[in-house]
């Protein structure tokens, strides 16, 4: 009698363990995130800097202390933070400061210089002058490793000025009267309602002289410049500035960027 062979019950083929599938998806997500972040960083640097390896920082308008940048000027903290960020960025090999400024306050220049000197300990800092880089803007520029200017850039104007206005004659004519109660004889010095006294004028001149001495001593220490070539405070064209070592080379922003790259390469 024929026997029907016994058959084993059918079971589905074992699938991957649940924890193994979860691990694979986790790895896929992590790799995807890394790719997205990498693309984002690359896009940021391409958009932010069209000159790979060189960070261009703009110092434009009137210089004063503060953390701001607008159509009229720029603050020392704003410029300084950009300098420090670029100095600490491993993807930046050199820094170019594009200067287009008539100057500003000595304190603002001194704050920027402090951050510029920090940046120089990390990588080359090159100056590119646009239309103008005078007074406090030149004060900052003198600390660059190399300075580029256009033939007709206005630079120099090394000096300090303090302006006082006196409209007391007009006020008297119009019938205005000002009464002042003060704690010290110089407390209202500079008021437009009266002229400076002789003592106040001498005091103001001392402040200007002391500030100027610090300014010109610093500039002539940073660069080999004859004091007599710049102590009259005049504006100097780029072409003439090269002749007295106020500027290193004539060239535009692209020339300065190439010069910065060369300095960076020479230090590797």
Tokens of 203: 């005091």
Give percent above pLDDT 90 in the chain: 80
Largest CA distance in the chain: 141
Proportion of the chain in helix, strand, coil states, percent, rounded to 5: 45, 15, 40
Q: Give the integer Cα–Cα distance in Å for 123 and 88.
A: 9
CATH class of 32-157+234-268: alpha beta
120 is catalytic: no
For residues 104 and 137, is the Cβ–Cβ distance under 8 A? yes
Q: Which residue has the higher pLDDT, 92 or 27?
A: 92
Q: Which of 187, 197, 206, 243 is catalytic?
A: 187
Give the pLDDT confidence of 50-80 residue by residue, as tens digits.
577 999 999 999 999 999 999 999 999 999 9
Q: Which residues contact 225 (CB under 8 A, 6 or more apart)?
A: 219, 244, 245, 246
Residue 5: what pLDDT? 47
Residue 29: what pLDDT? 76
Q: What are the sequence ranges of the domains in the chain?
A: 32-157+234-268, 160-226
Indicate the pTM of the whole model. 0.81
187 is catalytic: yes
For residues 101 and 61, is the Cβ–Cβ distance under 8 A? yes
Q: Which residues of 85-124 are buried (b: 16+ CB within 10 A; e: fewer)?
A: ebbeeeebbbbbbbbbbbbbbbebbbbbbebbeebbebbb
Q: Which of 123, 135, 146, 261 is catalytic?
A: 135
What's the mean pLDDT in 11-34? Answer: 63
């Amino acid at each position: 009698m024929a026997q029907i062979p016994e058959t084993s019950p059918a079971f589905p083929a074992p699938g991957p363990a649940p924890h193994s599938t979860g691990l694979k998806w986790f790895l896929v997500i992590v790799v995807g995130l890394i790719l997205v972040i990498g693309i984002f960083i690359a896009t940021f640097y391409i958009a932010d800097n069209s000159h790979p390896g060189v960070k261009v920082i703009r110092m434009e308008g009137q210089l004063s202390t503060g953390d701001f940048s607008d159509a009229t000027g720029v603050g020392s903290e704003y410029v300084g933070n950009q300098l420090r960020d670029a100095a600490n960025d491993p993807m930046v090999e050199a820094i170019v400061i594009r200067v287009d400024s008539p100057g500003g306050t000595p304190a603002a220049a001194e704050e920027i210089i402090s951050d510029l000197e920090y940046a120089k300990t990390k990588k080359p800092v090159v100056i590119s002058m646009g239309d103008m880089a005078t007074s406090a803007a030149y004060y900052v520029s003198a600390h660059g490793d190399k300075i580029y200017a256009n033939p007709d850039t206005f630079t120099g104007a090394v000096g300090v000025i303090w302006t006082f206005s006196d409209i007391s004659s007009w006020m008297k004519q119009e019938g205005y009267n000002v009464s002042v109660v003060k704690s010290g004889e110089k407390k209202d010095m500079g008021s437009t309602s009266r002229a400076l006294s002789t003592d106040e004028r001498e005091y103001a001149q001392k402040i200007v002289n002391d500030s100027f001495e610090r300014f010109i001593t610093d500039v002539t220490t940073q660069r080999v410049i004859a004091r007599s070539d710049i102590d009259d405070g005049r504006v100097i064209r780029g072409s003439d500035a090269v002749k007295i070592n106020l500027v290193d080379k004539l060239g535009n922003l692209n020339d300065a960027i190439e010069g910065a790259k060369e300095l960076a390469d020479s230090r590797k």
